[in-house]
Amino acid sequence: MSDRLAQVKKAADYIRARISAPPTVGLILGSGLGVLGSEVEEAAVLAYEDIPGFPVSTVEGHAGNLVIGQLEGNRVVVLQGRFHYYEGYSMDEVVFPVRVMKLLGVETIIVTNAAGGVNTSFSAGDLMLITDHIKFFTDSPLRGTNIADFGPRFNDMGDAYTARLRGVAREVAASLGIPVHEGVYAHMPGPSFETPAEIRMLRTLGADAVGMSTVPEVITAAHAGMRVLGISAISNMAAGVLDQPLNHEEVMEMGRQIQDAFVSLVRGVVRRL
């Protein structure tokens, strides 16, 4: 057994010993979106720092708790905050929770983020279902010796953002009167926000939104054969779209403004799974 697999199993065993039933749905909540974790019923709340092998989130708006319980008739595990490459973590550490989720029994992941709007028809406060991604510059979470327990050496990424789940999300959004876009998410390493020239490049290449997370987790989930729904909350327009500077406080504030629509959409999707 590889050291990495042993570490993941140790964390999964620690969590399994503290819950009454295994989760089937995983939720990864981005900046300003962690409020959904407080709506989980019959919840066991585990601090990241107490789970063997877990990194600790250092970014404002990421509570740093693993919440396991009941939501809309499903057993869920919720990450209130994630880990980023720009924090200094290795890719192994960034995607560690996804692998733990897989060993706990999770087969469907809803991964969310706060993103910058690259598509000029978007506005801050919009929601976007991710159809595909563009990955720039950072390491792959699958680099190194392949862990066959999770997936093959070379994995398909043709339906990494599961089309069937997007269909469910579209139906739920329509039933709730929540407008949603669909588009391509570009991953940049951060922590600096992108330059206007980089945003023009991304728009030319077909990106609709940009952020500093999500893609490593989705690659890892796809490798492990998990179904993925990706949702971006457009927290600001990207550099050069509007004549104003970018800051993290704006991201957090917009997360608070759109959390009702976001929570309603995610709860509706979980109900349908």
- Which residue out of 213, 232, 238, 254 is catalytically annotated? 213
Active-site option among 11, 57, 65, 84 = 84
Cα distance from N-terminal residue to C-terminal residue, the chain:
34
Catalytic residue among 31, 57, 113, 232: 31
Neighbours of 208 (CB within 10 A): 25
84 has catalytic annotation = yes
Q: Which of 212, 221, 233, 237 is catalytic?
A: 212
Catalytic residue among 12, 63, 85, 87: 87
Which of 248, 250, 252, 253 does the annotation list as catalytic? 248
User: Is residue 86 annotated as a catalytic residue, yes or no?
Assistant: yes
- Output the CA–CA distances (angstroms, integers) from residue 67 to 52, 55, 60, in the order listed: 16, 16, 18
Q: Residue 65's beta-bridge partner residues?
A: 47, 80
- Distance, in Å, from the CA atom of 170 to the CA atom of 184, rounded to the nearest integer, reads 16
Specify whether 213 is catalytic. yes
In the set 72, 86, 140, 252, the catalytic residue is 86
Q: Select which of 11, 62, 115, 238 is catalytic.
A: 62
SS3 content of the chain, % helix, strand, coil (to 5): 35, 25, 40
Asked if 212 is an active-site residue, the reply is: yes
Between CA 68 and CA 131, with CA 40 as vertex, the angle to 5 degrees is 85
Give the three-class secondary structure for 117: strand
CA distances from 24 to 77, 131, 181, 268 (A): 8, 23, 27, 16
Residue 87 appears among annotated catalytic residues:
yes
Q: Which of 11, 91, 101, 114 is catalytic?
A: 114
Tell me the catalytic residues.
Answer: 31, 62, 84, 86-87, 114, 212-213, 236, 248
